[in-house]
Amino acid sequence: MTAAFTFEPSDRVRRIKPSPSVAAAARARELKAAGRDIVDLTVGEPDFDTPQHVKDAAMAAIAAGATKYTAVNGTPALRGAISGWYRRLVGRACDDARITIGGGAKQVIFLALMASIGTGDEVIVPAPFWVSYPDMVLANEGTPILLPCGQETGFKIDPAALDAAITPKTRWLVFNAPGNPAGAGYSRSELAAILEVVARHPRVMVLADEIYDSIWFGEAPFVSIASVDPSMADRILLVNGVSKSHAMTGWRMGWGIGAPDLVKAINTLQSQMSSCPSSISQAATVAALNGPDDFVRTCTAEYRRRRDIVVDRLRAIPGLECVSPSGAFYLFPRCAGLIGKRTPAGVVIADDLDFVRYLLDAEGVTTVHGGAYGLSPHSLVVCNQPGRARRSVHTHCARMPSVDLTGGRRWMSCGCSNSYSRRLPSAASSNTPKTGAQYGSMRRQRWRGCRAMKRRP
């Protein structure tokens, strides 16, 4: 008889946890499978299909036999397409020695950390953050240093606070704009102020994750941090990919552009890890980067439309505040006004985790609590879903207003919430934040409208 075997994960794995958003999505799937009607607002990927010309390029690559290993830093065609993309964004050329490619932006970020940090190195992670950053730092034996960037500063980095957070051990500033989950974007002068701080600390580099740059709603065009100060080119690793811009999350293709020595180190790791990303995805990415940009523009217009609908609806809910994001497809409403309230079942909402639990249990809406993103009390709402998702946003919004914890009573429990959402008074649907008194008056108007509707035959 063989002895029982117990697998013990490495310390590296013990230090980290699975992504909370992936866990929330899995929970939503479980509940759906068990027959519950669930609105899942946790999944950070476009609901659009990959454009046809990109799929055609992949099929042509297969037909032409481009199905073998490529160079670690990709085919010449891909490097040419990335270099053209960089020139259009940043206004400068970049040679092959500055380009690394990976199986998604996520892999590039992981390898960049693996190539550059060790025990004792600190990585500044502004909060709220994309859930993977701190765990990637921990997996690579570094220490994540959280830099709070709350709603008061528009979820943006304050240069003075950044300066104060830098120590002799700091290796990287993680810089994600437009950011997941708050969608904050920066002007050229704000970016220059951040780079001025970084320039004063010669050991510090900027890990600039601009994966959402194409989903940009600002009046002025998006400004890449890599375009601001050419003298900082070697201090910035600019990371991007096609997952979000071209609805290609499953193709796993991303890239980084940075100092040749750093890129060489990343490529050495890549050569031992996967040799190269898929040759077929590389061909598809060439088509995405060199092809027409009408797909990207159409998707962005639709994301903006959805953002405006959901921001409007969330702002109409007593106890929630919602900043309208400059980019990406996430909202990060603050739920401070609901903390300490009681649910209709009498349970006290002690924190944002209780709030998202309540949303799931009572309303069948899955979101992720702000604590998972390093900033409480908030909750994440992904508004990328409509289409198939247009329905879900409306369903979600129709359900959210029934979350009234202000008096422990569900004032929308009459079941007419859908019609109700359509009947919001115009003041309630403007984008301006509301005072407590305005919320109270909106709520009373809705209650009156609700009773009026019930009286109708």
Part in contact with ligand PLP (CB under 6 A); list of ranges 89-97, 99-107, 351-359, 401-409: 99-107
- 352 with 371: CB under 8 angstroms? yes
Grouping H, G, I as helix, E, B as strand and the rest as coil, residue 216 is strand
Q: Which of the ranges 5-13, 82-90, 98-106, 155-163 carries the binding residues for ligand PLP, by CB under 6 A?
A: 98-106
Q: Which of the ranges 101-109, 269-277, 340-348, 446-454 carries the binding residues for ligand PLP, by CB under 6 A?
A: 101-109
- Work out how close the CB of 104 gets to ligand PLP at its nearest, in angstroms, rounded to a whole number: 3
CA separation for the pair 201, 168 (Å, rounded)? 8
Q: Which stretch binds ligand PLP (CB under 6 A): 57-65, 104-112, 309-317, 380-388?
A: 104-112
Q: Does 277 bind ligand PLP (CB under 6 A)?
A: no
Is residue 126 involved in binding ligand PLP (CB under 6 A)? no
Q: Are 110 and 104 in contact (CB under 8 A)?
A: no
* Extended beta strands in 104-257, E state: 122-127, 143-148, 170-176, 205-209, 236-241, 254-257
Whether 196 and 148 have beta carbons less than 8 Å apart is answered as no
Distance CA 25, CA 21 (A): 6
Q: Is 104 in the site for ligand PLP (CB under 6 A)?
A: yes
CA distances from 368 to 41, 139, 181, 281, 425 (A): 8, 23, 10, 31, 29
Sequence-ordered list of residues with C-beta below 8 angstroms from that of 422, at least 6 positions apart, any chain: none
Q: Is 241 in the site for ligand PLP (CB under 6 A)?
A: yes
**Which residue is at the shortest CB distance from ligand PLP?**
104
Residues whose CB falls within 8 Å of the CB of residue 302, separated by 6 or more in sequence, listed in order: 386, 387
In whole angstroms, the minimum distance from the beta carbon of 56 to ligand PLP comes to: 22
Pattern 154-193, binding to ligand PLP, x per CB under 6 A? ----------------------x---x-------------
Exactly one of 106, 171, 306, 369 binds ligand PLP (CB under 6 A); that residue is 106
Sheet order of strands, 379-382 included: 330-331, 379-382, 368-369
If the CB atoms of residues 239 and 398 are measured against ligand PLP, the closer one turns out to be 239
Choosing from 130, 175, 295, 373, the residue that interacts with ligand PLP (CB under 6 A) is 130
Residue number, 185 or 254, with CB nearest to ligand PLP: 254
Using CB under 6 A as the criterion, which residues of the chain lie in contact with ligand PLP when the complex forms?
44, 104-106, 130, 176, 180, 209, 211, 241, 243, 249, 254
